Amino acid sequence: MDSVDIEVLRSAEAWRAAGHRVTLGTIVRTWGSAPRPVGALVAIRDDGQVVGSVSGGCVEDDLIEKVRAQAVAKDLPQLVTYGVTNEDATRWGLPCGGTLQVVLEPVTGESRLGELLAAIGKQQLVRRRLDMASGAVLLEPGRWSDVLEFDGRTLVTVHGPRWRLVLIGAGQLSQYLAAMARMLDYQVTVIEPREEYAAGWNVEGVALERAMPDDLIREMNLDAHSAVVALAHDPKIDDLALMEALKSPAFYVGAIGSKKNNDARRRRLAEFDLSAEEIARLRGPVGLYLGSKTPPEIAVAILAEMTAVRHGVTEPSWAAKERSRYAPSACEVEAGAASRA
């Protein structure tokens, strides 16, 4: 769950606690070119104030009007559909042929949003079950494989960090990357066995582990919702982590350093029990080529590449691209690599 949807839940609960009537909307199905994904949230207050979005602004005006008039989900949850026909899609400003279904529910003390937010604040993954007939809500521990489910009778949503990011090393770059990743739906863990770096770690809400990275990564049982980025600048630490991460189903494994350093790293990894296919999964130099120089810029480049991989974008990073008229020159590559070493 990203920071935008968490803010929707926070606002909905704060408005309810202040005495407002609040309606929470959740996208449960989309067809065609729907502008927002399944699971996106919107909260609408009785005076028309809104936070979040289910259509990028296309149908929010109609929802606001209906909520203010108490014409939808006044007492119990209700399913509404927008854009059934091309004419409707045009009317609501949806992309051509786009259709979306939204479950609207009145927010009350029984909605248990306060409990849900408390669990999310502790980095817990939570399944929330909403009974459409009664409005009753059940909260239960979630699993990494959980997804939104809706069968017309029960809406199951998943809240909390849906993706895991393991950072090796607690240096300055890790601090920026950890803070940014938390905004993008990641539960972040930092592994740092070195006392001099661990002592300075101060990113709130990010766990710091002190054991050796190979042991911890094996214990974490990484899956396809996991990413590992080695940032320690110490081969004895980074390589231990990569040896285990590259054998896991993690969707993204990267390492900081210049192309020269990463080529040497690949040669070292080949001396251990890793196949050529596993070593080829390593993204190093890590991140998209953005001309990044400062730690925050490098963090953006890493998260940009992670996001592309996560969404199935196959465009390779700059290090893997064949030379073209858009590719950086050899001098630019060396300068970029040096800045990231």
Whether the predicted pLDDT of 193 surpasses 80: yes
Whether the predicted pLDDT of 336 surpasses 60: no
Whether the predicted pLDDT of 171 surpasses 50: yes
Helices (H), 126-270: 172-182, 195-198, 213-220, 235-245, 259-269
pLDDT at residue number 141: 94
Whether the predicted pLDDT of 207 surpasses 60: yes
Domains for the chain: give ranges and CATH numbers.
3-121 (no CATH), 163-340 (3.40.50.720)
28 φ/ψ angles, rounded to the nearest 5 degrees: -115, -20
Share of the chain above pLDDT 90, in %: 66
Mean pLDDT for 73-83 is 93
* Residue 96 or residue 215, greater confidence: 215
Q: What is the dihedral of CA 130, 136, 140, 144, to 10 degrees?
A: 10
Cα–Cα distance for residue pair 293/32, rounded to 1 Å: 40
Whether the predicted pLDDT of 315 surpasses 80: no
Mean pLDDT for 33-38 is 73
207 φ/ψ angles, rounded to the nearest 5 degrees: -70, 140
* Residue 145 or residue 292, greater confidence: 292
pLDDT one-digit tens code per residue, 36-70: 788 999 999 999 999 998 876 668 888 999 999 99
Cα–Cα distance for residue pair 208/216, rounded to 1 Å: 12
Mean pLDDT across the chain:
86
Mean pLDDT for 149-155 is 97
The whole-angstrom distance between residue 53's C-alpha and the CA centroid of its chain comes to 17
Whether the predicted pLDDT of 22 surpasses 90: yes
pLDDT band of 85, cuts 50, 70, 90 = low
pLDDT at residue number 113: 97
Quote the tokens at residue 73: 């989900």
Task: Specify whether the CB–CB gap between 63 and 41 falls below 8 A.
Answer: no
Task: Specify whether the CB–CB gap between 333 and 304 falls below 8 A.
Answer: no
